[in-house]
Structure 1
Amino acid sequence: MPLFVDCLADLKQGHQTNIPIYSFSEHQRLDETKYLYGAAVIITEGILALHDPALRALYDLKIFVQCDSDLMLARRIRRDVSERGRTVDGVLDQYLRYVKPSYDNFVLPTAKYADIIVPGSDNHVAIDLICTHVKRQMKNRKSRLRAQMALAGPRELSSRQSSPLIPTEEPWSNLIITPDTPQLKGIMTILRDRTTSRGDFIFFVDRLATYLIEKAMEHLPYRPRTVTTPCEVDYQGVELDADLCGVSILRSGGPLERGLRRVVNNVAIGSLLIQSEPKTGEPLLLAHALPQCIRERHRAKHTYVFLLDAQIGTAASAFMALRVLLDHGVPQEHIVVVTFLVARYGGLALLRRVFPRVRVVCSAADDYVSERWLAVLEAPAQGGAPGTDVGAVGSPALADEQQVATRGRKVWVVEPGMGHIGDRYYL
């Protein structure tokens, strides 16, 4: 029960957990565990789910399902014979000797702790009531992160003809911008040019990604190491003193992955799929595939992570990704965000306040964030079946707010920016 309480408490706090797996055929716990993270709604189910006071204290809604004894026995026989490899005689013997007396003495009395009692059959009305309650709770707890991040700077820029933001805070020491050398400025010029061919864009993105990873490596811990050279002479050097992995925000972080693999041999790279909710633009975590060193919390607290994201405007995706890493036990000071471009006074300002010990390594910082409306245009009538054309940043499909307020959605764009780096790299 204490382990059950710990796992449930971790999930309720938004942390990952590793749940033990029990074998009903072997009547014992298996060596492997089930990794679980990111549950918006947690259903705790079991015959003694309401028995332990520590468990009851974690529940937001307590439900007792009460069913007729004959129906329970029939269901038990069908389940144990088909799923657990038992015989009918064995099921009946166990039921009469242990299950029924235990139910009467220990399970049924816990009904007094339930908020509602649901019948075990023909319970559609009860299910509708429960679903309505859960949906209302989720709606009440929903955050509007994206707009807050866009407003995190001194003020929001709401027109295309943006003016520079006036800084009101001291420079952030954990924002590491690579030196603006002529070589780097030449690479950025090529990448910012909308007429650059895809082949050249990929080449210089890979080149810049490698350079940024090398700069990020400077912020990791190292320990002394002595080696013997081919000349039979000792050399006092260093080696990395940490477990390192990468986490890429799909697909924005993809262009940085090749640079990481070039610099760190055999590095483990995980991924997070974070997309915007179509109506509100809020970040949603849709899928995650994290390296094993992060999935196990006792290892995560000693692991350093390079979080790969092409650019940070409102920082909504980065905010969500950082929250995921912290939920897994990775310390803030062990996270280095590697990105090509940031909006200096956009969501980065909020990121700085919420995660002050996270470091950000980038090649440039623009001082502009503009609000636009991403239009969804109908296909021409002569084209056959109607379709949609989602406008990209800088495309003709971007219209003014008055034209698309009812058919588009709001987006925030870094300016002068580099456009959609993932689209330019992969498409």
Structure 2
Amino acid sequence: MIDERKLDDCSNKIKVLQATNNVRELQTQIRDKTTARDRFVFAADRLIRLTVEAGLTLLPYSEFKVVTPHGFTYEGLTHQPGNCGVSIMRSGEAMEKGLRECCKSMRIGKILVTTDEETGVANVCYLKFPADIATRKVLLLYPIIKSGDTCVKAIEKLLENEVPQESILLLNLFATVEGARCLSEQFPAMSILTTELSETDIPTNFGRRYFGTD
């Protein structure tokens, strides 16, 4: 389900969802400029769900025994407690639905990063994290990584709130090689899970199409 790659001299492993026919079909519908919005949202939600489910396999588990209706003991697994999500507004909020469908009780924080049109500098305008976020594994939600600047600002805020790099898993749909490399170099202990690493074009209008503001 997940491939692990290294970007040239970057030491951090980038995890990429296996490019099955199903995944590639969803990516195609999202990239197609003629896709109607309702179909776009449907395809995006499906791809997000696949990404979230793959991301959950990377979180820590513990052995857990249960008794079946027939009275047998089953030795299974359960997620270790202490996970949360953080969506980078606004496009990251598109991924909250998929996370809640998989983990109904998981808390989700938010952070808003805007870019100054004149200077091109990204700034954090708003954030709301769980009070104990420093003790949690954080699923950072952001569907499109181009330069990586927005994610850098969000990750810096997590680090300022004493979240260790190794406790951050960035869930993403489309990333440029340049953006992924930028994040890997600056945060080598952080993990990134994406469905595609691209040398060229990525759907940077994802958020606008998803929320109908394109």
Q: Aligned residue for 1:47?
A: none
> Are 1:191 and 2:23 an aligned pair?
no
The answer to whether the 8 A contact 1:242-1:304 is kept is no
Within-5 A mapping of 1:51-130: none
Identity among equivalent positions (%) equals 29
Aligned-residue offset at 1:349: 1.6
Aligned-residue offset at 1:293: 2.4
Structure 2 counterpart SS, 1:253: helix
The answer to whether the 8 A contact 1:332-1:355 is kept is yes
The partner residue of 1:358 within 169, 190, 211 is 190
Aligned-residue offset at 1:347: 2.7
CA offsets 1:199-243 (integer angstroms, 9 cap, x no match): 011111111111101111111111111000111100001111131
Structure 2 CA distance for partners of 1:236 and 1:207, relative to 1, 3 Å = same
Aligned-residue offset at 1:174: 2.5
Aligned-residue offset at 1:187: 0.7
Between the aligned partners of 2:155 and 2:206, the Cα distance in structure 1 is 21
Q: Aligned residue for 1:180?
A: 19
Structure 2 counterpart SS, 1:272: strand
**Structure whose CA Rg is larger:** 1
Within-5 A mapping of 1:413-424: 415=201, 417-424=202-209
Structure 2 CA distance for partners of 1:237 and 1:168, relative to 1, 3 Å = closer
The partner residue of 1:263 within 95, 102, 109 is 102
Q: Which one has the bigger strand percentage?
A: 2
Within-5 A mapping of 1:211-360: 211-294=50-133, 300=134, 302-344=135-177, 346-360=178-192
Between the aligned partners of 1:191 and 1:172, the Cα distance in structure 2 is 31
Root mean square deviation of aligned Cα: 1.5
The answer to whether the 8 A contact 1:174-1:357 is kept is no
Q: Aligned residue for 1:75?
A: none
Q: Which runs of 5+ in 2 are unaligned?
A: 1-5
Aligned-residue offset at 1:289: 1.3
Q: Aligned residue for 1:39?
A: none
Aligned-residue offset at 1:330: 0.8
Q: Aligned residue for 2:199?
A: 367
The answer to whether the 8 A contact 2:7-2:14 is kept is no
Between the aligned partners of 1:269 and 1:168, the Cα distance in structure 2 is 30
Q: Aligned residue for 1:36?
A: none
CA offsets 1:158-183 (integer angstroms, 9 cap, x no match): xxxxxxxxx98247552111011111
Structure 1 counterpart SS, 2:94: helix
Q: Aligned residue for 1:149?
A: none
Q: Partner amino acid for 1:422?
A: G
Q: Which runs of 5+ in 1 are unaligned?
A: 1-166, 295-299, 369-414
Q: Aligned residue for 2:3?
A: none
The partner residue of 1:205 within 33, 36, 44 is 44
Q: Give the total of aligned pairs.
A: 207
Between the aligned partners of 1:419 and 1:274, the Cα distance in structure 2 is 16
Between the aligned partners of 1:284 and 1:418, the Cα distance in structure 2 is 23
Q: Aligned residue for 1:404?
A: none
Could you list the structure 1 runs, at least 4 aligned residues long, displaced by more than 3 angstroms after superposition: 170-173
Between the aligned partners of 1:203 and 1:229, the Cα distance in structure 2 is 36
Q: Partner amino acid for 2:189?
A: R
Between the aligned partners of 1:177 and 1:200, the Cα distance in structure 2 is 24
Between the aligned partners of 2:22 and 2:11, the Cα distance in structure 1 is 25
Q: Aligned residue for 1:426?
A: 211
